[in-house]
Amino acid sequence: MGDIYRNCVVCLAATNSTNLHSGCYSGNPIRVERFESSSFDLFGGNTTPWEIYVRNSIPHRALTDPVTPQPDLEYSPGHLRTRGWVFQERMLAPRYLHFLEQELAWECRMGVRCECHCQCDVVRMGSTKSEFANSLASNNPSALAFEWRQMMVIYCNLNLTKESDRLPAIAGIAKLFQEARGSTCHAGIWSDSVEEDLAWQVWQPGPWRYTILKEHTYARTEGVPTWSWASVSAPIMYDPLPVDKNERLCDFFEIGHPGVIPDLKSHKLVVNGYMVPATLVYEGKGEFCNLKVPGYDKPIQFGNDVSLGVSGPSCIPCDEVLFCLALVKCHLVESRYQYKSLVLQKLDAEANVYRRAGILRHSDNIFNDISEKSVINIV
């Protein structure tokens, strides 16, 4: 499917359509205003009044990548743009023609244009085709890695009928990145930027969003390793702080089976790194998770991947011991540092098997007293 869209001439998109029966065209009347010259004491060469019909301005929400549900919008938010499979189709097609409620919009690798000519000045279309194309043509590993993470932030906000499609629905884009990067993709994590790609966090901006996502926050996608962002059915984010450079704090011996769609028989992440134990404590009704780290008086809040306090297969009791694995040290501006650590739950003590529970960001080095690394398996 990826090759079909990648090699097409132009893709026609019923962006405003609500379902497969709606078609490309809208039956709603065009919103116009009627003005008479007599109302403004304006006349032509004679006394005959004239009229002007002006279409109301359109807030181009139909062309923006959705971030939060907005059911009360006056204008259509572009229902097609909310679908996960469509993201790949739009980005791969060299030219994309949007059929909107009141006009057409053109999107290609050079930019975006609409009939009212205000698209580029009014709104940014999220992850644009031009940014995507420029990153692929740059041959810059850092730019390619950054663009992939930015695209996944947008992609994980989209809807899928089957959560098992989360990796297949992005495989075509991953194939293009693999050709440009010369590295391999492992369930959405890349071999040349693994420590940065692993530092994703589930986005939880507030209680109302938590309520909307609650039905998905207690379960993981079956068959996807917990260290991949595709294992959770929720929006994700990466740290927006400006970074001068990243210093990897662990060694990766194995990153699962190569390929955007993982081999279920071999998807473990084998890591050699520093670890410290920490006790899990909950705040509120269990949606906020903290860790009691040895040597620190106050618990440290971390970003949990799923609702650990909700009854279900991912539930972890309060006061259970989790483990922090040192992942990366970020050199920020103004000589500041930030450490990122994976928060892990031990599944099998004898085999040294863990699963990811979240990510911890902290300004202090909590691993100062650790002198030896441990080899563990994360599944």
CB under 8 Å to 161, separation ≥6 — which residues?
Answer: none
On the question of pLDDT at 127 being above 80, the answer is no
pLDDT digits (tens, 9 = 90+) for 154-172: 999 888 989 889 999 999 9
The span from the CA of 201 to the CA of 236, in Å, is: 5
The span from the CA of 71 to the CA of 372, in Å, is: 53
pLDDT digits (tens, 9 = 90+) for 225-270: 999 999 998 889 998 766 668 889 999 999 988 877 766 566 889 9
Q: What mean pLDDT is predicted for residues 268-279?
A: 94
The span from the CA of 221 to the CA of 217, in Å, is: 11
Q: Which residue has the higher pLDDT, 124 or 95?
A: 95
Q: Residue 115's pLDDT is what?
A: 82
- Arithmetic mean of pLDDT over the chain: 82
What residues are paired with 292 via a beta bridge?
279
Q: Residue 27's pLDDT is what?
A: 74
- Sign of the C-alpha dihedral, residues 65, 288, 221, 362? positive
Cβ atoms of 285 and 313 within 8 Å: the answer is no
Q: Residue 370's pLDDT is what?
A: 65
Q: Residue 73's pLDDT is what?
A: 41
Q: Residue 315's pLDDT is what?
A: 86
The three-point CA angle 140-153-221 to 5° equals 120
On the question of pLDDT at 52 being above 60, the answer is yes
**Residues written for the chain:** 379
The span from the CA of 123 to the CA of 251, in Å, is: 42
Q: Residue 208's pLDDT is what?
A: 42
Could you tell me the CA-to-CA distances from 189 to 186, 194, 311 in Å, in that order?
5, 6, 29
Q: Which residue has the higher pLDDT, 97 or 73?
A: 97
On the question of pLDDT at 201 being above 80, the answer is yes
Annotate 242-270 with DSSP letters as a single string.
-EEEEEE-SEEEEESSSBSS--TTS--EE
Cβ atoms of 364 and 339 within 8 Å: the answer is yes
Q: What mean pLDDT is predicted for residues 93-104?
A: 88
Annotate 213-247 with DSSP letters as a single string.
HTTTTT-B-TTS-TTSGGGBSS-EE---S-EEEEE
Specify which of 21-25, 202-206, 375-379 reaches the highest per-range mean pLDDT.
Answer: 375-379
Residue whose entry in the numeric block shows the structure tokens 């999220």: 126
Q: Residue 155's pLDDT is what?
A: 92
Closest by CA position to 218, among listed 313, 76, 94: 313
On the question of pLDDT at 120 being above 60, the answer is no
pLDDT digits (tens, 9 = 90+) for 288-345: 789 999 888 889 999 999 888 877 788 899 999 999 999 999 888 777 888 999 999 9
Pairing of strands 288-292, 300-304: antiparallel
Q: Residue 33's pLDDT is what?
A: 80
- Sign of the C-alpha dihedral, residues 251, 354, 340, 174? positive
On the question of pLDDT at 44 being above 60, the answer is no
Q: Residue 40's pLDDT is what?
A: 61
Annotate 179-213 with DSSP letters as a single string.
HHH-S-EETTEETTSHHHHT--EE----HHHHHHH
The three-point CA angle 199-205-209 to 5° equals 115
Say which amino acid occupies 192: D
Annotate 79-121 with DSSP letters as a single string.
GGGGBHHHHHHHHHSSEEEEE-SS-EEEEETTEEEETTS-HHH
Annotate 132-175 with DSSP letters as a single string.
HHHHHHH--HHHHHHHHHHHHHHHTTSB-SSGGGTTGGGHHHHH
Tokens at 215, concatenated: 């039905």
On the question of pLDDT at 212 being above 60, the answer is no
